Amino acid sequence: AVDHDVFPPLIRQIKESSQFLHQQPTANYQRPPKPAHTPSNATMSSDEEDIDSMDEEEEDEVATKPKRRRKKKGKKDPNKPKRNMSAFFLYSNAHRERVKEENPNAKFGDIAKILSVEFKEISESERARWDRLAAQDKDRYMAAMETYEAPTEHFKALPEEERAYWDEKAAQDKERYQRDMEIYRS
């Protein structure tokens, strides 16, 4: 007799299917029902003992776990300054209506493609104009961000452990930024 608890669940399933087929007459052959969940090779590690020791009800619970839901995006601060626009974005906003009139059946994506082709073909002096406008918009954004204060009530309301986690993460980001800047400057 073979000890089936030694085999991983997938091999055990194959053995049981084989035994099932040998017991069936060949005229009435039917496939055995598929199990609700078969772990992949990637997940077959220390969890094997846990799965082997589960009874059928526990296996059904594991197999019918709902998928993880996406985290909801945080609310945007309405007072935060709008980001600066690129030269292409400024050009697109200025010329979108004209392109729509010239191509009434074009979809939004098609209009964007037409605008991108036009933008790539403009003269250097025209391109410099749009780059200058983009630089002015970036200056506007940077000045607005200097005076902007992000709301801190949400952060202060977090539990101490979570605040410590985010403080540590911010410190790591700052260190990485400083390291990268030192490498860049040298």
Higher pLDDT, 130 or 186: 130
- The predicted structure's pLDDT at residue 112: 94
- The predicted structure's pLDDT at residue 51: 53
pLDDT tens for 111-163 read 999 999 999 999 999 999 999 999 999 999 999 998 887 767 777 777 888 88
Q: Looking at the predicted structure, is the pLDDT value of residue 75 above 60?
A: yes
pLDDT tens for 14-73 read 778 777 767 766 656 566 677 766 555 555 555 555 555 556 666 666 556 667 777 777
Structure tokens at 66: 């709902």
* Sequence ranges of the domains in the chain: 1-36, 83-148
- The predicted structure's pLDDT at residue 64: 65
Locate the DSSP E strands across the chain: none
- The predicted structure's pLDDT at residue 69: 77
Separation CA 186–CA 179 (nearest Å): 11
Let me know: does 64 contact 36? Beta carbons within 8 Å.
yes
pTM above 0.75, yes or no: no
User: Architecture of 83-148 per CATH?
Assistant: Orthogonal Bundle (1.10)
Handedness of CA 25, 30, 36, 38 (dihedral sign): positive
- The predicted structure's pLDDT at residue 48: 52
Q: Looking at the predicted structure, is the pLDDT value of residue 171 above 90?
A: yes
pLDDT band at 107 (very low <50, low <70, confident <90, very high): very high
- The predicted structure's pLDDT at residue 40: 57
Contacts for 144 with CB less than 8 Å, ≥ 6 apart: 81
- The predicted structure's pLDDT at residue 3: 55
- The predicted structure's pLDDT at residue 163: 84
